[in-house]
Chains A and B, each alone.
Chain A
Amino acid sequence: MSAAPTPADAPTPADIDPDLARTVTTAAGGEPQTIVVEQLDKHYGDYHALRSIDLVIPDGSLTALLGPSGSGKSTLLRTIAGLETPDGGVVRIGGEDVTYVPPQRRGIGFVFQHYAAFKHMTVRDNVGFGPSIRNYPKDEINRRVDELLEIVGLAGYQERYPAQLSGGQRQRMALARALAVQPRVLLLDEPFGALDAKVRADLRRWLRELQATTGVTTVLVTHDQEEALDVADHIAVMNEGRIEQFGGPIEVYEQPVSEFVMSFLGDTAVVGGELVRPHDLQLTKEQVPGSIEVIVDRVVHLGFEVRVEAHDPEGRLIGAQLTRDEAGALAPEVGERLYVRAESGPRTSTSA
């Protein structure tokens, strides 16, 4: 990456001027912007990608479609965008049935994992592409491009080419380009998937801030549960073409409706036929009601947390996560007999 005159990969949230953001991105009028999906079905040959999906994306929210690869999350997003046509069902944007409306006329902004930059155009022409094909006056296009580049922290990069930008910068350019057409909804397909961990964390924080200031209804696809919990105010957990659970981050983490949601949203351990979170396990020297006996195999110190690996009398492995203080008080030793039970938190029964 070349030397940057302005913030590099992480503009601080304070850089975003809320008034500026609003003037550029708020669509005219107060029509409902909510995305509604009803009974959506999609096959690719024998593969059933979407199975009767029903989903209402709350107005002005940042919603994550979270699931493993092949769960249908990208297909759902692309169907909302009009880049895929469903076999059955309805997609509504702002109350309008857009199921068979081409992407050009849906009023969407779409951001791709690999940026989809127009490599032969400057940053200015990339961001101004949408307005320019609508034949906006040149002055207005330039003004809007400059404003948007300021918002995404790329002011001063107008005349560069995408090849001269870092990955994070290219993705912010892609966001500015999507916002330039004043979309009713912003759709992001694994937008940070191609970036390294540090940049990804910075951009997440920045996206959350940008979304809060612009208020544009945003749907983000991700396979990273940490990313979903971090940025989204609603999460749709998807598995095998279905939505397993829809709710706030705390809800899906603390009250998972299924074994799948429970295990996809965080680490789990099996204790007494139940799936529990390792940090909800309590270890004691004495037997207490509801606890089972384990033998300690290994004690791993990971900075602020201590992981105790043990096995129960049937030889099943159980990993418990303790704080440093808890571990200090308990002082577990390899080969020691301890008792474990889930003290609180979510649990789902398991077939395992």
Chain B
Amino acid sequence: MLWLSLIVLLPLAAVAVKAFEDGPSGFFDAIDAPAARAALLVTLSISAIVALINVVMGTLVAWVLVRDDFPGKSVVNALIDLPFALPTIVASIVLLSLYGPQSPVGVHLNATRPGVLVALLFVTLPFVVRSVQPVLIELDKDVEEAAASLGASNAVILRRIILPTLAPAILSGAGLAFTRAIGEFGSVVLIGGGIPRETEVASQYIQKQIEIDRFVNGAAVSLALLAIAFVVLFVLRYFGSRTAAREGRAR
């Protein structure tokens, strides 16, 4: 308990105190500043798109990895974790060299919103894949066969049996991807360019505020991010534990 307080709660409290140093109005003014609002909006909207794309692509990748056999499958499977292992700044350089000004493929995403999007997709890819994969492995073939014997077409089996079973895992993966995306710094710092009101994400805004000695502004935006991440995780946890209890997975 003490350890948890020291390592997690104390710093969080410090940020909160700092954010409200100029009173509640000071906090809201800091968040309401046009540049701050723009940064938060860019961050949240791109992160939401990232989470959505991950839901579809991550589920598909997990499906292929579990259900299909192809040469080099174990290599691909290991590759999924690469964004976890890679320092995010390295990811940014990798993306910059591929999509930057000297792009070998002729795609220039440097300092654009799609650039930020690609960077965030890269670092959050594993979340949905890795949360869906074990559930898919556990999904018994005979459940699908039972549905088929009852007259269900493949589309019906997917919609009414497989997706509902995967839904909690997909949601939790999406939530993790989203919360990771809103706080991401390293991977977007180079390719994003940090153009205010265009590609500047919240973490870059915070850094900038600290650099120009507007500590309160930085803390306020940080607290806003923190609150959003907390709410998202809490809601997902609630849904997750509800299904788990219902389906007896918690046993």
Residues in chain A within 8 A of chain B (CB atoms): 81-83, 102-106, 108-110, 112, 114, 116-120, 129-130, 133-134, 161-164, 174, 177-178, 180-181
Contacts and interface: CB of A to CB of B under 8 A. Distances in A.
Given A119-B248, A133-B156, A163-B246, A102 B165 contact: no
Interface string B149-168: 11111001000110011000
A109 B151 CA distance: 10
Contacts of A133: 150-152, 156, 160
Nearest to B143: A116
Contacts of B146: 110, 112, 116, 118, 174, 177
A104 B145 contact: no
A206 B149 CA distance: 23
Nearest to B156: A133
B209 interface: no
Given A119-B247, A120-B247, A103 B140 contact: no
Contacts of A129: 147, 150, 152, 160
10 pairs of A and B residues whose beta carbons are closest in the complex: A163-B248, A130-B150, A116-B146, A110-B149, A116-B142, A119-B247, A112-B142, A120-B164, A116-B143, A103-B148
Given A118-B161, A133-B152, A177-B150, A164 B145 contact: no
Interface of B: 140, 142-143, 145-153, 156, 160-161, 164-165, 243, 246-249, 251
B8 to A, nearest CB: 34
Contacts, number: 76
A83 B142 CA distance: 10
A191 B161 CA distance: 22
A114 B142 CA distance: 8
A178 B151 CA distance: 11
B241 to A, nearest CB: 14
B71 to A, nearest CB: 19
B49 to A, nearest CB: 28
Contacts of A104: 148-149, 151-153
A83 B145 contact: yes
Contacts of B142: 112, 114, 116
23 contacts: A81-B149, A83-B145, A83-B148, A83-B149, A104-B151, A112-B145, A112-B146, A114-B140, A114-B142, A116-B140, A117-B143, A118-B161, A119-B165, A119-B247, A129-B147, A133-B151, A133-B152, A161-B246, A161-B248, A163-B249, A163-B251, A174-B146, A181-B151
A13 B149 CA distance: 27
Contacts of A178: 149-150
Contacts of A174: 146
A140 to B, nearest CB: 16
A114 B139 CA distance: 12
B149 A120 contact: no
A1 to B, nearest CB: 12
A161 B151 CA distance: 22
A275 to B, nearest CB: 38
A163 B151 CA distance: 24
